[in-house]
C-alpha cells in the first residue's frame, strides 16, 4: 500500500492514493482554513469505514438487511505523548438476533484497521533531501 501526501499551502495537504485525492487541513483556530478533515478525523474515518465494510460483508453474506447500516467512531485525546486513546466503535443496524449481533461484532473486531491499532505496528520515519535540479548545458 502506498499514499503520497503533498503540501499545498497553509496547513493544507493533498493525499494521493492511486487515482483518488483527498484534502487534509486544520480548523481555522489551529492555523488552517478548514478545507478538509484533520489527520485525527481521517484516522477515525479509516477505522469507521473498515468496520463498516466488515459489518456489510457479515450482513450481506447472511442475507441480512444492510439498510441503515452506520458506524460511529469516537476517540479521546491524551497527552504525554500527544495521541488519540480510548476509541469507541458503535455499529447501527436493523434489529438482529443475539447470534447475529455477536457474529457482527466479531466480524467488525477482525477489521484490518482495528487490528492494526490494537497491535502497534513498527513505524520508521526517514528524511529524504531533495537535490536541486542541475542546470542543463545548452
Backbone angles phi, psi at 125, to 5 degrees: -115, 120
Grid cell digits, residue 43: 484516522
Q: Is the pLDDT of residue 22 over 90?
A: yes
Residue 124 inside a domain? The answer is no
Average of per-residue pLDDT values in the chain: 95
Residue 114 inside a domain? The answer is yes
* 22 and 43, same domain (yes or no): no
Looking at residues 127-135, what average pLDDT do you find?
Answer: 77
Q: Is the pLDDT of residue 77 over 70?
A: yes
pLDDT band at 131, cuts 50/70/90? confident
Q: How many domains does the chain have?
A: 2
Radius of gyration for the alpha carbons in the chain, expressed in angstroms and rounded: 20
Bond preceding residue 106 cis, omega within 30 of 0: no
* 43 and 31, same domain (yes or no): no
Domain housing 5: 1-36
Q: Is the pLDDT of residue 60 over 90?
A: yes
* 5 and 59, same domain (yes or no): no
> What pLDDT, in 10s, does the model give residues 88-125?
999 999 999 999 999 999 999 999 999 999 999 999 99
In angstroms, the Cα distances linking 74 to 34, 43, 71, 77, 88 are: 20, 10, 10, 10, 5
Query: According to the model, what pLDDT value does residue 63 have?
Result: 98
* Closest C-alpha to 23, from 96, 98, 112, 11: 11
**CATH at residue 55:** 3.30.300.20
pTM for the model: 0.89
Residue 87 inside a domain? The answer is yes
Residue 100 inside a domain? The answer is yes
Q: Is the pLDDT of residue 132 over 80?
A: no
Looking at residues 40-63, what average pLDDT do you find?
Answer: 98
Amino acid at each position: 500500500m502506498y499514499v503520497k501526501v503533498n503540501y499545498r499551502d497553509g496547513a493544507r495537504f493533498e493525499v494521493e492514493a492511486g487515482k483518488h485525492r483527498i484534502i487534509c487541513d486544520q480548523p481555522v483556530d489551529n492555523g488552517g482554513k478548514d478545507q478538509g478533515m484533520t489527520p485525527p478525523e481521517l484516522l477515525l474515518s479509516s477505522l469507521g469505514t473498515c468496520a463498516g465494510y466488515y459489518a456489510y460483508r457479515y450482513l450481506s453474506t447472511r442475507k441480512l438487511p444492510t439498510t441503515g447500516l452506520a458506524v460511529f467512531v469516537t476517540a479521546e485525546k491524551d497527552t504525554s505523548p500527544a495521541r488519540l486513546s480510548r476509541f469507541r466503535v458503535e455499529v447501527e443496524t436493523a434489529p438482529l438476533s443475539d447470534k447475529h449481533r455477536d457474529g457482527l461484532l466479531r466480524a467488525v473486531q477482525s477489521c484490518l484497521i482495528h487490528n492494526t491499532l490494537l497491535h502497534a505496528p513498527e513505524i520508521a520515519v526517514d528524511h529524504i533531501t531533495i537535490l536541486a535540479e542541475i542546470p542543463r548545458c545548452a
